[in-house]
Amino acid sequence: MKHFKTGLLSLALLTGMAQFSYAETFNEFLDSVRADLKKQSIDVSIFDKAMIGVEAPQPKVHQKLKKQPESVFTFSKYLNRLASDLRIKNGLANKEKHLSDLNRIEKEYNLPKEVILALWGVESAYGELPGDFKIIPSLATLAYQSHRRDFFRSELIKAVKIVHDGHIPLNDLTGSWAGAMGQCQFMPSSFYRFAADGNGDGRKDIWQTEADVFASTANYITQSGWQNNMPWGEAVTLSKILPPIKLSSRGLSGERTLKEWRAMGISHKTKKHLDKLTDNTKARLFMPDGPSKRSYLVYNNFDVIMKWNYSSYFAFSVLTLADALAGKERL
């Protein structure tokens, strides 16, 4: 899922739900949403139809929240799950099937088609598993019963607007438990920022039209700062004991220049990327297993994928899958 800080969101919700004190009942909350919709001239009847039979926040949404993959998988298991042999096999089959659209969109957006494929494969199993949660009730649950109420309330309003604007019928507005929609799993706000028409029919259909899914994905990534033909990362060796370096809970350091990293004792394992890098190239150290274990330097394009999903595990896995689909060696 994307387009917000997934790991931080999960932690905030898990630690906060039991302590949350509700200032309004669920029905009072629904009435306040209706008032917001009216202020924005959005058809309230869409919301009312979506909430028929929904008398309380949905427990299934909370059950999903407690089973976030980064909470239960080590890095190795997470990587092997997202960049599995089956996902690579299915990705290569879809690459061949959609090659014409992928080549055209790759050229238009200056983004490798394998990155598009990898995100598609991870987000919805190449369109096979886009999620079957009703988006509006799911977002209503999170807008009422989480510590990111304002965020999810805004997404809820935009979800109703998507139906109001005619992008998709209400009954077809399904997706993940957290409100991510379509084959590329866009949050409603991301739909309005990045959805693109990939086949020239005047629509932005991220639910059923693969060309639109590809173009929307490419638009998101290029607008997030992708630098084509630049490496996203490389394995490195530690030639001496490093000074203390603060790592995130997922093994990612702050940013330094390559010159600084080299001075600290980090060496490139190969020379294949050196012609594209300078002393001033910014990089982060990624140690997914903790200090003194396998180590990588990751660059701008790694950070771009983290703008899609704020997870170092996710970014590494997606880009590893993309490399496999392009016939490149794994780092």
Residue found by looking up tokens 């490139």 in the block: 268
Whether 275 is in a domain gets the answer: yes
pLDDT at position 84 is 98
**pLDDT for the residue numbered 10:** 44
The interaxial angle of helices 113-124 and 85-97, nearest 10 deg, is 120
In a domain, 262, yes or no: yes
Instruction: Give the 3-state secondary structure of residue 138.
Output: helix
In-domain check, residue 217: no
Whether 220 maps to a domain, the answer reads no
pLDDT of residue 66: 59
pLDDT at 1: 54
Tokens of 236: 């490195």
Asked if residue 251 belongs to a domain, the reply is yes
Residues spanned by the domain of 286: 233-298
Structure tokens at 146: 């989480």
Strand, helix or coil for residue 45: helix
pLDDT in tens, 14-54: 444 444 556 789 999 999 999 999 999 999 999 999 999 98
Q: Which two tokens stand for residue 312?
A: 């170092």
Q: What is the pLDDT of residues 88-127, one digit of tens each?
A: 999 999 999 999 999 999 999 999 999 999 999 999 999 9
Question: Which residue shows structure tokens 């010159």?
Answer: 259
Is residue 172 assigned to a domain?
no
Domain presence at residue 161: no
Q: Domains in the chain: how many in total?
A: 1
pLDDT at residue 197, as a whole number: 98
Statement: the pTM of the whole predicted model exceeds 0.75? yes
The enclosing H or E element of 21 equals none
3-state secondary structure (DSSP) of residue 296: strand
Crossing angle, helix 300-308 and helix 210-223, to 10 degrees? Answer: 120
Which ranges in the chain belong to alpha helices (H)?
6-16, 26-39, 44-50, 59-65, 69-72, 75-82, 85-97, 99-109, 113-124, 135-144, 149-164, 188-194, 210-223, 258-263, 300-308, 312-325
Query: Does residue 244 fall inside a structural domain?
Result: yes
DSSP β-bridge partners for residue 236: 268, 295
Q: Running along the chain, 331 residues long, what does each successive block of 10 average in pLDDT?
A: 47 43 83 98 99 82 63 88 98 99 99 99 98 96 90 98 98 96 99 98 97 99 98 94 88 97 94 94 95 91 98 98 98 94
| C-alpha closest to that of 60 among 160, 185, 178, 183 | 178
